[in-house]
A = this chain, B = another copy of it.
Amino acid sequence: MRVEILCTGDEILTGKTINTNHSHIAQRLGEAGLEVCWGTTVGDDRAALLAAFRLAAARADAVVVNGGLGPTVDDLSQEVAAEAAGVPLVLHEPWLVRMEAFYARRNRPMPLNNRKQAMLPEGAEFIDNPIGTACGFAVAIEGTRFYFTPGVPREMRRMLDEQVLPRLLASSGLQGVTRLKRFHSFGIGESRADEMLAGIEAMAPGGGVKLGFQAHYPQLETKVAVRGADQDELDRKLAPIEAEIRRRLGNFVVAEDGQTLESVVLDALRARGGSLAAAETFTGGAIAARLLQVEGSEELFRRGLVSRNPGQLAAAAGTTAGEFSPPMARAVCLALQAQSGATHAIAVVVTMDAGTDRTDAGGAITIGLAEPEGIIVREARLVGGREWVRLGAVEMGLDCLRRHLLGLPTDERLDFERR
A residues with CB within 8 A of B: 7, 12-20, 22-27, 30, 36-43, 48, 55, 212, 214, 282, 284-286, 288-289, 292-293, 295, 297-298, 301-309, 312-313, 315-316, 339-340, 357
A289 to B284, CA, bound (A): 5
| A312 and B302 within 8 A (CB) | yes
A14 to B288, CA, bound (A): 35
Residues of chain B contacted by A288 (CB below 8 angstroms):
284-285, 306
Specify the main secondary structure of chain A where it touches its partner: mixed
A16 to B38, CA, bound (A): 14
Residues of chain B contacted by A316 (CB below 8 angstroms):
303, 305, 316, 339-340
Residues of chain B contacted by A289 (CB below 8 angstroms):
284-286, 289, 306
| B302 and A307 within 8 A (CB) | yes
A334 to B24, CA, bound (A): 48
- Can you give 8 contacting A-B residue pairs, CB < 8 Å? A15-B27, A15-B30, A41-B41, A284-B293, A285-B306, A297-B308, A306-B306, A312-B340
Task: Known A289-B285, A309-B298; judge A18-B23 contact (CB<8 A).
Answer: yes
Residues of chain B contacted by A312 (CB below 8 angstroms):
302-303, 340
Task: Known A284-B288, A286-B289, A305-B304; judge A40-B40 contact (CB<8 A).
Answer: yes
Closest Cβ of chain B to A372, distance in Å, is 19
Most chain B CB neighbours (cut-off 10 Å) among A12, A42, A306: A306
Closest Cβ of chain B to A195, distance in Å, is 19
Residues of chain B contacted by A13 (CB below 8 angstroms):
26, 36, 38-39
Question: So how many copies of this chain end up in the complex?
Answer: 2
Residues of chain B contacted by A282 (CB below 8 angstroms):
292
A12 to B286, CA, bound (A): 30
| B308 and A305 within 8 A (CB) | no
A24 to B282, CA, bound (A): 31
Closest Cβ of chain B to A81, distance in Å, is 19
Residue of B nearest to A25 (CB): B15
A25 to B16, CA, bound (A): 11
| A39 and B36 within 8 A (CB) | no
Residues of chain B contacted by A313 (CB below 8 angstroms):
303
The contact of A41 among B14, B22, B339, by CB within 8 Å, is B22
Residues of chain B contacted by A284 (CB below 8 angstroms):
285, 288-289, 292-293
Closest Cβ of chain B to A6, distance in Å, is 10
Residue of B nearest to A38 (CB): B42
The contact of A308 among B15, B20, B298, by CB within 8 Å, is B298
Residue of B nearest to A290 (CB): B284
Closest Cβ of chain B to A57, distance in Å, is 14
Residues of chain B contacted by A40 (CB below 8 angstroms):
38-41
Closest Cβ of chain B to A102, distance in Å, is 15
Closest Cβ of chain B to A399, distance in Å, is 19
| A15 and B36 within 8 A (CB) | yes
Task: Known A39-B42, A41-B39, A303-B305; judge A19-B16 contact (CB<8 A).
Answer: no
Residues of chain B contacted by A304 (CB below 8 angstroms):
285, 304-307
| B22 and A26 within 8 A (CB) | no
Residues of chain B contacted by A30 (CB below 8 angstroms):
14-15
Task: Known A13-B26, A15-B23; judge A303-B292 contact (CB<8 A).
Answer: no
A304 to B30, CA, bound (A): 45
